[in-house]
């Protein structure tokens, strides 16, 4: 029977397949280890004991970065015949835990990569009754231990060679669904007299960055259950759910 051959299918082979799939989701990484733990008796029943993803200094798809990502998934149901053939297909969703660390530089990078200055976006502020075109000229972020985040954006006033500043302070809070974070107690502490369109554009991009779907891996969803604030970083704890291994054809980038 073909299943008997599973005794000769080593952890090395399955680890190599899983590692290649998950690394396809990352452009660069200081460190990215993928480990699949296998018990051959369980594998014959279609169960992988665990998949552990341990990453540091990651640059994900679209250039978004993470200081740290740790995901541990347990009792992953697979088709053992297809696993034998090098095709790890999940037979049912499996769950585990995840921890993601975002630091100030990660958020700054994401905001500065945001498409605030795309060609179809043209912003104006009113100065003495005259509309003046502006461009976003860099965004900075501060994370405070008292559960507050500050985002400051510089605006370059075209044809005037001057800079205006918008400063927003808010508290990131977990959505009821757990699938993302919304901005609570949002306050504009500087630049509130500027165009509402410009302020709304910045708020929209901040909300976009805190939509966790842009950070996680294809096939894995997160249900956030805790935010822990430290100076300069936020740690998100979550329930992780995997439905399939990443589709490598969706991303041709690899880790450095």
Give me the residue label for tokens 């280890």: 33
* Same-domain check for residues 208 and 113: yes
Does the residue 43 lie in any domain? yes
Q: What DSSP string describes 180-217?
A: -EEEEEEEEEE-TTS-HHHHHHHHHHHHHHT-GGGTS-
Number of structural domains (the chain) is 2
**17 in a structural domain:** yes
Query: Are both 157 and 233 inside the same structural domain?
Result: no
256 in a structural domain: no
Query: Residue 210 has which token pair?
Result: 């805190």
pLDDT at 83 > cutoff 80: no
Tokens found for residue 236: 């998100």
My answer on whether 205 and 223 are in the same domain is no
Task: Let me know whether 10 and 97 are in one domain.
Answer: yes
- Whether 225 has a pLDDT exceeding 70, the answer reads yes
Task: Give the pair of three-digit tokens for residue 82.
Answer: 């297809």
Report the interhelical angle of 104-113 vs 196-209 (nearest 10°): 120
Distance (Å, rounded) from C-alpha 153 to C-alpha 165?
6
Nearest 5°: CA angle at 163, between 162 and 168? 160
Domain around 202: 106-212
| H or E element, residue 43 | helix 40-44
DSSP state letters, 102-134 = EEHHHHHHHHHHSSTT-TT--EEEEETTEEEEE
- Report the distance separating Cα 116 and Cα 198, nearest Å: 9
Query: 173 in a domain, yes or no?
Result: yes
Domain assignment of residue 41, yes or no: yes
* Same-domain status, 95 and 124: no
The answer to the question of residue 255 being in a domain is no
> Do 72 and 112 share a domain, yes or no?
no
Please check whether residues 14 and 36 belong to one and the same domain: yes
pLDDT at 253: 44
Query: Same structural domain for residues 98 and 110?
Result: no
- Judge if 113 and 51 occupy the same domain: no
Q: How confident is the model at residue 255 (pLDDT cuts 50, 70, 90)?
A: very low
What is the C-alpha to C-alpha distance for residues 38 and 52, in angstroms, rounded to an integer? 12
| Residue 111 shares a structural domain with residue 200 | yes
Mean pLDDT confidence for 157-177: 88
Q: Evaluate if residue 63 carries a pLDDT over 90.
A: no
Q: What confidence tier does 205 reach under pLDDT thresholds 50, 70, 90?
A: confident
Domain identity same for 95 and 10: yes
Asked if residue 36 belongs to a domain, the reply is yes
In a domain, 227, yes or no: yes
Are 152 and 92 contained in the same domain?
Answer: no
Listed range (95-109, 165-179, 200-214) with the worst mean pLDDT: 200-214
Q: What is the pLDDT of residues 101-146, one digit of tens each?
A: 999 999 898 888 766 776 556 788 887 778 888 888 889 999 998 8
């Amino acid at each position: 029977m073909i299943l008997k051959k599973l005794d000769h299918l080593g952890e090395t082979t399955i680890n190599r397949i899983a590692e290649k799939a998950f690394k396809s989701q990352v452009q660069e990484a200081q460190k990215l280890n993928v480990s699949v733990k296998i018990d051959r008796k369980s594998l014959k029943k279609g169960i992988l004991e665990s998949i552990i993803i341990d990453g540091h200094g990651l640059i994900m798809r679209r250039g978004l970065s993470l200081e740290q990502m740790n995901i541990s998934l347990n009792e992953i149901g697979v088709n053992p015949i297809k696993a034998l053939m090098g095709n790890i297909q999940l037979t049912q969703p499996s769950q585990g835990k995840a921890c993601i660390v975002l630091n100030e530089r990660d958020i700054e990078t994401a905001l500065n990569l945001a498409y605030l200055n795309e060609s179809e976006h043209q912003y104006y502020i009113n100065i003495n009754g005259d509309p003046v075109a502006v461009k976003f000229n860099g965004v900075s972020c501060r994370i405070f231990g008292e559960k507050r985040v500050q985002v400051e954006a510089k605006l370059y006033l075209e044809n005037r060679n001057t800079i205006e500043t918008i400063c927003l302070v808010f508290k990131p809070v977990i959505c009821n669904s757990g699938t993302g974070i919304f901005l609570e107690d949002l306050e504009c502490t500087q630049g509130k007299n500027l165009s509402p369109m410009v302020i709304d554009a910045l708020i929209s991009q901040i909300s976009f960055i805190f939509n966790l779907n842009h950070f996680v891996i294809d096939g894995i969803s997160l249900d956030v259950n805790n935010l822990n604030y430290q100076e300069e970083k936020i740690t998100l704890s979550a329930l992780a759910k995997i439905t399939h291994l990443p589709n490598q054809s969706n991303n041709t980038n690899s880790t450095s």
